[in-house]
Structures are given as structure tokens and as C-alpha cells.
Amino acid sequence: MINKIEHLGIAVKNIEEANAIYKTLLGVAAYKTEQVASENVNTSFFKVGESKIELLEGTSPESAITKFIEKKGEGIHHIAFDVDDIEAEMEKLKKQGFTLLSDRPKQGADNKLICFVHPKSANGVLIELCQEIKKQG
């Protein structure tokens, strides 16, 4: 089951400059910055009530973020939905005909298991499913 919008991802050219802009806009600093080497991105997260904003900067020409900005410019890159059981949600969406971008959940930023749904499956919007990784004990 999809619970809520967990965050909106925004592709930016320069994360230092964007952090300063979003700090001014939201009145709070990023609570976390993180490099996700497997996705070729630098990220920062801001809390907005129950939701979050994730800024994403590509770290290589192969990065999905670098390619997105080359084609479309900076802007909203994805919507991420919080789910309790990502594998069950992936199985359900696959059966319903959505194109998933990985067969298994991957380790994402901010302590999450993630999986993306191709934007062609969802009216031109890249969808991310994310499940919080619970701490043991």
C-alpha cells in the first residue's frame, strides 16, 4: 500500500548553490547531505512538514540526473512514495503492467530501499517507491 508522498526529488546543477536557495525558501537548513555512489548523485534533504524535498546533483556524465538536466534542464525529477513492503508493491505494480526499473529493491539515500517506475508507465512522471530500513533491535 502507498502511504504518502515521502519526498519530491529536484534535479540541480550545483547542490551547494541549491542548498543555499532552499534554505532561504524553506527557512531550515538541509538535515542531511549524502553521496549515493551507486546512483552517481550527491543529495541533500530538507524537511517540509511530513514530507521532504531531495535535491540531487549528478556526479558523472552517466548519472540519471546529469542526463535529465541536459535534456530538460533543472526541475522536478521524481515523486517518491512511502510504502511498508516494497517487494509486495513492486510485485503488484508489475502485475498491473507498470515497467519497473529494477527487479530487486536497491539501497537508496536517506536509509531507504528504493525502486523506480519508468516515467512512460506513469504519464511522464518518474515514480520512486521507498521503504524505510528499520534499525535492528
Q: Please give the residue ranges that form the binding site for ligand CMX (CB under 6 A).
A: 9, 36, 39, 41, 43, 56, 64-65, 67-68, 71, 77-78, 101, 108-109, 116, 118-119, 124-126
How far, in Å, CA of 10 to CA of 88, rounded? 27
- The residue with cell 523506480 is 116
Nearer to ligand CMX, 61 or 137 (CB): 61
Q: Which is nearer to ligand CMX, 105 or 108 (CB)?
A: 108
- Least distance from C-beta 89 to ligand CMX, angstroms? 16
Grid cell 548553490 — which residue? 17
Smallest distance, ligand CMX to C-beta of residue 21, A: 19
Given the complex with ligand CMX, which of 27 and 32 has the nearer CB atom?
32
Rounded least distance, CB 127 to ligand CMX, Å? 9
- Residue for cell digits 552517481? 40
For cell 530501499, the residue is 113
Least separation, in Å, of the C-beta of 37 and ligand CMX?
11
Report angle CA 26, 79, 55 to the nearest 5 degrees: 45
The helix (run of H) or strand (run of E) holding residue 20 is helix 15-26
Residue type (1 letter), 112? K
